[in-house]
Amino acid sequence: MWNSYFDAMIYINTASKQPLQLVLRAILIQNQPQSGMIADIQSTAARAQLGELLKYATIIISSLPLIVMYPFFQKYFDAGIMVGSVKG
């Protein structure tokens, strides 16, 4: 369900109510260089490099809340794993 953005893309029209997956998808699609748009090779390479950096930055920023919350909820994950394990 984490990457299930297609239903939201179909049913949600308001940009303020879109989930994080659609926002990330829009950022990644907007920053892809299109053929025929830029004739200069250096500016095309610079734009592609900027797009890659933006992609990696959005991935880090979107995963940062989960990374911050994990240490606080780790004890519950450990307890759940021990409850479901087979004792022998």
Which stretches does DSSP call E strand in the chain? none
DSSP letter at 19 equals -
Q: What angle do CA 63, 84, 3 make, to 5 degrees?
A: 30
d(Cα 77, Cα 50) in Å, to the nearest integer?
38
* Domain ranges across the chain: 6-84
pTM for the full predicted model: 0.55
> Whose CA is closest to 28, among 7, 11, 3?
3
| pLDDT averages per 10-residue partition of the chain, 88 residues | 74 86 79 63 78 84 87 76 62
pLDDT at residue 1 in the model: 58
Cα(first)–Cα(last) distance of the chain, in Å?
34
